[in-house]
Structure 1
Amino acid sequence: MKNDNSRLHTALVLLVAVALIASAIKPFDRMTWVMEVLPVVLVAPLLWFSRRRFPLTTLLYVLIAVHALVLIGGGTWTYARVPIGNWVQEVFALSRNPYDKLGHLLQGFVPALATRELLIRHRIVVGHPFIVGLLSVCVAMAISANYELIEWAAAVALGQNADDFLGTQGDQWDTQSDMLMALIGSTLAMLLLARWHDRAIRRLSIPR
Structure 2
Amino acid sequence: MSVFPSRYVLPAAALLLTALLIYSGIQPYDRMTWLMEVIPVVIVLPLLWLTRRRYPLTPLLYLLIFFHALVLIFGGMYTYARVPIGFGVQEWFGLDRNPYDKLGHFLQGLVPALVAREILLRGGYVQGRKMLGFVVCCIALAISAIYELIEWWAALALGQGADEFLGTQGDPWDTQSDMFCALLGAVCGLVLFGSRQDRQIDRLALK
* Match runs of 1:109-120 below 5 Å: 109-120=110-121
> Shift of the alpha carbon at 1:5?
4.0
Equivalent runs, 1:77-96 vs 2, <5 Å? 77-96=78-97
Gaps spanning 5+ residues in structure 2: where? none
TM-score, with length taken from structure 2:
0.97
Amino acid at match of 2:130: F
1:34 corresponds in structure 2 to 35
SS state of the match for residue 171, structure 1? coil
Counterpart Cα distance in 2 of 1:178 and 1:20: 24
SS at match of 2:56: coil
Q: CA deviation at 1:4?
A: 2.3
Alignment partners' CA distance in 2, 1:135 and 1:11: 33
Counterpart of 1:199 in 2: which secondary structure? Answer: helix
Please list every run of 5 or more consecutive structure 1 residues that lacks an aligned counterpart in the other structure.
none
Report the residue type matching 1:155 in the other structure: A
Q: SS of 2:124's equivalent?
A: coil
CA distance in 1, matches of 2:41, 2:199: 27
Q: 1: CA distance between counterparts of 2:3 and 2:172?
A: 49
State the secondary structure of the residue aligned to 1:54.
coil
Report the alpha carbon displacement of residue 6 of structure 1 after superposing the two structures with TM: 2.0
Q: Secondary structure at the match of 2:28?
A: coil
Q: 1:203 to 1:88 in 2, by over 3 A?
A: same
- Partners of 1:195 and 1:152 lie apart in 2 by 37
1:54 equivalent in alignment to 2:55: yes
| Distance in structure 2 (CA, Å) of the matches to 1:166 and 1:184 | 20
> Percent identity at matched positions?
59
RMSD: 1.0
Contact 1:9 1:58 (8 Å CA) reproduced: no
Q: What is the alpha-carbon distance in structure 2 between the residues aligned to residue 62 and residue 38 of structure 1?
A: 19
- Corresponding residue number in structure 2 for 1:197: 197
Alignment check: 8 A CA contact 2:3 2:59 kept? no
**CA offsets, 1:102-135, max 9 Å, x none?**
0000000000000000000011124x11111111
User: Deviation at 1:7?
Assistant: 2.0
1:148-159 matches, cutoff 5 A: 148-159=148-159
Deviations 1:52-80 (A, max 9, x none): 11111111011001000000010000000
The one-letter code sitting in structure 2 at the alignment partner of 1:156 is L
Tell me, in whole angstroms, the C-alpha distance in 2 between the residues paired with 1:132 and 1:92.
36
Q: 1:75 matched to which residue of 2?
A: 76
Matches of 2:99 and 2:6, distance apart in 1 = 33
Match of 1:108 in 2: 109
Spell out structure 1 runs of 4+ moving beyond 4 A.
none
Q: 3-state DSSP class of the match of 1:55? A: coil
Aligned equivalent of 1:132: 132
CA–CA separation in structure 1 for the residues paired with 2:12 and 2:5? 11
Distance 2:172 2:6 in 1: 44
Q: What is the rounded CA distance, in whole Å, between the counterparts of 1:64 and 1:39 in structure 2?
A: 11
Q: Is the 8 A contact 1:154 1:162 kept in 2?
A: yes
Tell me, yes or no, if the aligned pair for 1:107 and 1:182 is still in contact at 8 Å: yes
The answer (yes or no) to whether the contact 1:86–1:97 under 8 Å persists in 2 is yes
1:191 CA displacement: 1.0
1:48 offset after TM fit, Å? 1.2
SS in 2 for 1:74: helix
The answer as to whether partners of 1:80 and 1:167 remain within 8 angstroms in 2 is yes
